[in-house]
Structure 1
Amino acid sequence: MGLFDFFGGSGPEKALKLKPKVTQKYGDPSTRQKAIQQLGEMKYPEAVSVLLSRFTLTVEPLTTDADEKEHVFELIKGFDQDAIAPIQEFLRKSDHATSWALRLLGDLLPEPAVIGICVDTLTHLSSHYTRDPEKKVVLLHHVMGKEDPRIPTAVLPFLEDMSDDVKIAALKVLGPLKYEAAREPILKLLTSEETARRVQTAALAALQESGFNVQGFREKLEPLLVEPYLLDKSGVVVKRQA
């Protein structure tokens, strides 16, 4: 322990005390930038947590904002594996800057580990109310197109989310996965009177990609078909040939 650590000059407490400066939106930017640099030179998890808070605000001019965020990104990467736990905590607790957190994890961890964190976070979000749907959408977009058995069970609950954007993102994830347990929930969402038209269109696309039969829902579904979708003789949604 150094002399400054002993007197509380550069320990975890010092890192936490720098947060107001790091998140200072107005005033002299050099104050914020100096605090960022100080945090980058510390080796405490608390320093990573405070640095992450910089991603939650936008400052003017936007060129300065972008430069600072890239600098913060590189500083956090410098913590290497010590940054993982603070990033995970940030991802779970903050409704902002999800894409930055995922980008950092992508540079620090192998893809299966990142998918695992996304799945854990989505599972947590599916049982907790959040006012802003952006975080869910960003996480869903991140797992889109990925082949991992953990994904469909974590995504399925979002077909019942209050946000149409979240429902559409979930449908785009589930369609190509051909997850049998999603067949009926997708069909119920599509045929519900409360479902918005753009969500219905996304549900048709998901059914077409999945190849699921519409048995039990054909009568309700047929009036909802729009170009280029139609039902074939076997009761599967297909795209009309051009």
Structure 2
Amino acid sequence: MTTKEKRDIVVKDVIKPLMKQAGYRCYRNTWYSKRIDCYVIMHLQNSMRNMDETGFCFWFNIDVISVDEIDNIDDVKKWTSSLSMVYERVFLTNDGLMHECHDSRGYIIDKCRDNLPVDTDIEDFSVYIRDDFNNYILPKLKLINTSNDWLKMKENMRNNTGKKNRLILYFTIANKLAIADSNAPFLQESQQDLKLSSDDIKDNLLMLKEIQRNAENIFEYAEEFILNSLKD
């Protein structure tokens, strides 16, 4: 079974039934639900770099569009992305960064570890994604009745991005950049953008091991790379 065939099974047997049960209509890979003055829209997007050798990555673009912004229902059905959209990971615990089947890009089937493909058990994967939709994604979207509800929700999510999530994102980035010492300036920039002190990072180095447990590649000198790049 190819990676795309596995993804198709998940969409057919898990995603579509869950979205239908939640009251969403479907057009190709886009689901939409009419609310008081808006539509909640979700579009499944596949990575352009998907190959059987490297795994299949996909994610969900999510947004809310006011009825005043559309001319007809086709504008909703054919929606794929927008500047104001978010990804499903914003609804997941730890932004989906410490997830068995999810990383900073999205959901991954047959991902690589140490440059070798790992065969994903489709039943296990289905359990993970069903849990994400039932317990995190759909309950949050159910709270949106108006365009203003969506604006408030996004603002709250921005304000509630705690230090733990910022540390998880930092160590995820660091593990990828550790492939080359020349990447140190990029990691320093990430540290600054995430508003983390050197002590914040040193005190939480154990998080790196947790990140590497589900990472595609593990760089032996990642911790040394991090310590050498720290800036106050």
- Structure 2-normalised TM-score? 0.29
Structure number with the higher helix fraction is 1
Higher RCO (Cα < 8 Å, 6 or more apart) = 2
Q: Which of structures 1 and 2 has the bigger CA Rg?
A: 1
Structure number with the higher strand fraction is 2
- Structure 1-normalised TM-score? 0.28
